[in-house]
Structure formats: structure tokens, C-alpha cells
Amino acid sequence: MGLFNKLFNSSSEPKEEKILPWQALTSVNQLAEIEKRSQSKTQLVFKHSTRCGISRMVMNQFVSMYAIDINADLYYLDLLNYRDVSNETGYKFQVLHQSPQLLIIRNGVAVAHASHGAINELELAKFV
């Protein structure tokens, strides 16, 4: 097994998993609170399709790159289980639905958004 460990750079020790301060976005009513809170603090909404491999890959990259100390609230929206919330998010913040997608909300509006690989190219620090 030593050869495989060297080839694939694997280790018998498990990697420490990075945990983000996700807040589940499960209700249309939460959108009014996100809008209100965005007046004083950046709000981030990550829309994720749990059945899509690309969405999973982008989310994993996002998690690994996310700076825990960023001054923003971070919401996770499982758009398959909460399709009505996903639809209303698009209407409320005037952003055409895509998956995966990240919305950056300030002062009640989406000041930036991106989907797929472009999510990880957004410079979040510019918006907080």
C-alpha cells in the first residue's frame, strides 16, 4: 500500500473537514429577513442542487476557499427540496435561476451573483 499512498498522496489519517457557518434557507419568509439584514451585513445565498455532480464539485471548492472570518451571513439553499424558496429568491432579488449559484446581497439587492465555476472567482472580500 505504500506505493499507492505515494502515487495518490493519500494518508491513513483523515483530513479535518472545514465546517462553514451555513444557515439553512428553507422558507420564503426568511427572504424578508435576509433583505433586512443586508442593510447592515452582507448576505450570501448558495443555491445547490444535491443531485448534480457539478454543483457538488463547485460547493466543495467554495467550502475549501471560503474565509471563515468573512463578515457575512451564509445561507445554504437545497433547491430540490425547497424549489418554491429558490423560485422566490430569484424573483425577489431579480436573478435568473441557475445551479449552483451564489447571490451576494447588500442593501436589499443582489449586488453580484455567479454560477458554476464563476462562483469561486468572485472576490467576496470586495462585498463585505
pLDDT above 50 for 7: no
Specify burial of residue 11 (Cβ count, 10 A radius: 0-12, 13-18, 19+): exposed
* Domains of the chain, CATH where assigned: 20-127 (3.40.30.10)
Interval 29-43: pLDDT, tens: 999 999 999 999 999
Could you tell me the pLDDT band of residue 115, with boundaries at 50, 70 and 90? very high
pLDDT-based confidence at residue 60 (cuts at 50, 70, 90)? very high
Residue 88 — pLDDT band, cuts 50, 70, 90? very high
Distances (CA, A) of 97 to 4, 16, 41, 42, 66: 43, 33, 23, 20, 23
pLDDT band at 4 (very low <50, low <70, confident <90, very high): very low
The pLDDT of residue 14 is above 80: no
- pLDDT (0 to 100) of residue 97: 86
Q: Rounded to two decimals, what is the model's pTM?
A: 0.84
Mean pLDDT of 85-99: 93
Per DSSP, the three-state class of 37 is helix
